[in-house]
Amino acid sequence: MNGNIANGGLLAKWRDEIIFARPQEWFLNTDDEFIYYSNRSDENRLYRKQNPQEEGRVLLKTPCSGLVLFGDGLYFVNENDKTVYRCSTEGRGLTRCSSKETTEFAVLDNGEIYINPAARRLCICQERAFFADANNDFVLTSIEVKNGEKEVFANIKPSYINTYGDDVYYADRMRENKIFRLGSRYSICGDSAECLHVIDEWLYFLADKSWKKVSLVNFGEAEEV
């Protein structure tokens, strides 16, 4: 989920269907009962609704970005002080998780919060953080979350990043924003892509303001959604 949220959280899987964010919605998260999101038309306050068609209601008045549902908690960057907070899925028990200012974060599998203020499009794969480094001309950078070991991919400048299994995918602004798998020289499709989202084995992306998807199992041509 972190990868989708890093790219705006503009679509999500809800029960057995793919839902798309309305213009006022982003950072979509879902569980078996509800859809959670940040409402752009209401100062990015945290909202919740029970199905895609209904209008949501305010769950928390705090302006939030990067909303992530993990377990029974909702994590987000409080736009008032730029630090990470947690509340319950009922909007209660608001708790500050860190005093470090950031624009993005990730929730690790063990529930710990990973924060790197320089990270943009932050994703976690195989216990490594992958991101565009705002302190180094936005080149692709990878850091081992446990020991801080760093690797820089100087020839890649990702505009969007996401993961599937053990693989990292990115749209490379240095190569017409085409999508590549890290370690491969060849793009997985010919489209110029934005807003990479992964659901099941499919990679969804925007191309010329329309959603497309490509299989990450069989690859092939991208198809309209």
Per-residue pLDDT tens listing for the chain (225 residues): 578 999 999 999 999 999 999 999 999 999 999 999 999 999 999 999 999 999 999 999 999 999 999 999 999 999 999 999 999 999 999 999 999 999 999 999 999 999 999 999 999 999 999 999 999 999 999 999 999 999 999 999 999 999 999 999 999 999 999 999 999 999 998 899 999 999 999 999 999 999 999 999 988 789 999
pLDDT at 219: 80
List of residues 6+ apart from 92 with CB closer than 8 A: none
Query: How many Cα atoms are found within 13 Å in the side-chain-facing hemisphere of 40?
Result: 11
pLDDT at 160: 98
pLDDT at 221: 86
pLDDT at 218: 85
Distance CA 213, CA 67 (A): 24
Question: Residue 215 class from Cβ within 10 Å (0-12 exposed, 13-18 middle, 19+ buried)?
Answer: middle
The CATH number assigned to the domain with range 1-115 reads: 2.120.10.30
Break the chain into its structural domains and give their ranges. Answer: 1-115, 120-225
Contact 68, 34 (CB under 8 A): no
Q: Which CATH superfamily is domain 120-225 in?
A: TolB, C-terminal domain (2.120.10.30)
pLDDT at 68: 98
Distance CA 211, CA 57 (A): 27
Instruction: Give yes or no on whether 1-115 and 120-225 have one common fold.
Output: yes
Joined together, the tokens standing for residue 73 give 């908690």
Q: How far is CA 180 from CA 13, 57, 144, 188, in A?
A: 24, 39, 22, 6
pLDDT at 88: 97
pLDDT at 2: 74
Report DSSP state, residue 187: B
pLDDT at 132: 98
Contact 222, 211 (CB under 8 A): no
